[in-house]
Amino acid sequence: DAKTTQPPSMDCAEGRAANLPCNHSTISGNEYVYWYRQIHSQGPQYIIHGLKNNETNEMASLIITEDRKSSTLILPHATLRDTAVYYCIVRLTGANNLFFGTGTRLTVIP
Amino acid sequence: DAGITQSPRHKVTETGTPVTLRCHQTENHRYMYWYRQDPGHGLRLIHYSYGVKDTDKGEVSDGYSVSRSKTEDFLLTLESATSSQTSVYFCAISDPPANYGYTFGSGTRLTVV
C-alpha cells in the first residue's frame, strides 16, 4: 500500500468548512483513497472512499486530483463533534489490511 | 458501534497470565480483524480472519493467537501477557466485495501489570 502524508494538526472554526489534505504521490492505479476518523478513545469510523472521481456522502466530500497524487477531505460545516484524528489511507481493493498512519488531529474551535 | 461488540471493555491482568478478548458481530460479515493502538504507532494489525477457521497473521502477531469457530465471534488470546501488550485493542469487520469499509468496535483497554 502507498504511503500517505498528512499535516499533524489543523484548527477550524465551528461552522466553517474543514479541508484536510493528504499526499499520496506513490499511489498506483488500482489503489483507492479511504478516509477514517477517530474521536477520542472510540474506534475509527469510516467516512468516505474513492478511486479517481470526486465523491460525496452525508458526512463529507472527497476531492482527488487528476493525477491522483493528492486528495482533500472536506467537512462542509464543521461542528465541535468533528474534533477527531483523521486518517487518509490508500489501499488496494481486496487487501487485507488498512495501514493507519498518524493522521491529522482536527480541532474545531467554537 | 451497532453490530459489533467487544468484551471486556477494560481489563487489568498480571504478567504471565493468559487473557482472552472477545469480538462479537451480528452483521454476518466475512472478515474480522484485531488491531492494537499505542501512542506513536497508530493502529497495527495483529491477526485477521476471512472465514470460520480461516485466519492469518498481521504485522504484530507475535505473542497473540486467534480463533474463529463461528462467523460471529473472533477471539484474541494472549497466551502469557507481558507489559508490552498493554494497549487498546480494536476489533473490526468488513464484507468485501459488497462493502470494503471497516466497522470498528469500541475497543478493549488492557493493562498488564
Q: Cβ of B107 and A36 within 8 Å?
A: no
B50-67 per-position pLDDT tens digit: 999 999 999 899 999 999
Instruction: Please check whether residue B1 touches A, CB under 8 A.
Output: yes
Residue A62, classified by CB atoms within 10 Å of its CB into exposed (0-12), middle (13-18) or buried (19+), is buried
DSSP class of A78: -
Q: Taking the CA atoms of A51, A54, A56 and A61 in sequence, report the sign of the dihedral they define.
A: positive
Task: Please choose, from the candidates B6, B35, B5, the residue with its C-alpha nearest in 3D space to the C-alpha of residue B108.
Answer: B6
A15-70 per-position pLDDT tens digit: 999 999 999 999 988 889 999 999 988 999 999 999 998 999 999 999 999 999 99
**Rounded Cα gap, residues B91 and B110, in angstroms:** 13
Q: Cβ of B48 and A45 within 8 Å?
A: no
B16-25 per-position pLDDT tens digit: 999 999 999 9
CA A59, chain centre distance (Å): 12
In chain B, where do the E strands start and end? Answer: 4-7, 10-13, 19-25, 31-38, 42-51, 54-57, 64-70, 73-78, 87-95, 99-104, 108-112
- With CA atoms as reference, the chain B residue closest to A37 would be B104
Give the one of B44, B58, B96 whose C-beta lies nearest to A94's C-beta. Answer: B96
User: What is the C-alpha end-to-end distance of chain A, expressed in Å?
Assistant: 37
Q: Cβ of A49 and B100 within 8 Å?
A: yes
Q: Cβ of B107 and A46 within 8 Å?
A: no
Alpha-carbon distances, residue A15 vs A33, A84, B36 (angstroms): 26, 16, 34
Give the one of B59, B103, B106 whose C-beta lies nearest to A42's C-beta. Answer: B106
